[in-house]
Amino acid sequence: MINVTVFRNNNQIKAFELSGHAESGPHGYDLVCAGVSAVSFGAVNAVLTLCETDLEIEQGSDGGFLHVTLPDTLDYQVMEKIQILFEGMIISLETIEREYNQYITIQSK
């Protein structure tokens, strides 16, 4: 199962973590894993490119782990853009969760 944890402070996303494997299909044909990966890496790449900011990114060597932390000091407008992009990511992940909740779970802390 893929576990998604969103870390918030004052209702703003400060970090998020994805861990585990969906195992909803054979390796290379796992649609849940592919969807979660596309959504999460797409959002991270969008933030890096459109917001021109660095993120603290940790990845597992064999996949199955992604932890992203936002910098503490960000301009207000940049933070607003990042929040919109990552909230969009969460909405997309929740859409996957609604259809495939036996393979993915999302929680906020």
Q: Residue 63's CB: how many other CB atoms inside 10 A? A: 10
Report the alpha-carbon distance of residue 106 to residue 24 in Å, rounded.
17
Q: Which of 27, 33, 51, 67 is catalytic?
A: 33
Residues above pLDDT 70, as percent of the chain: 100
Residue 48: which H helix or E strand, with range? helix 31-50
Q: What mean pLDDT, rounded, does the chain reach?
A: 95
Q: Name the class of domain 2-108.
A: alpha beta
The model's confidence at residue 74, banded by pLDDT at 50, 70 and 90, is confident
If pLDDT is split at 50, 70 and 90, which confidence band does 63 have? Answer: confident
Concatenating the DSSP letter of every residue in 56-70 gives EEEE-TTSSEEEEE-
Domain coordinates of the chain in residue numbers? 2-108
Note the pLDDT of residue 3.
97
* Whole-angstrom distance, CA of residue 6 vs CA of residue 67: 10
Is 33 one of the catalytic residues? Answer: yes
Examine the residue annotation and report whether 21 is marked as an active-site residue of this protein. yes
Residue 61 has pLDDT above 90, yes or no: no
Q: Which pLDDT score, from 0 to 100, does residue 60 have?
A: 87
Q: What pLDDT sits at residue 51?
A: 94
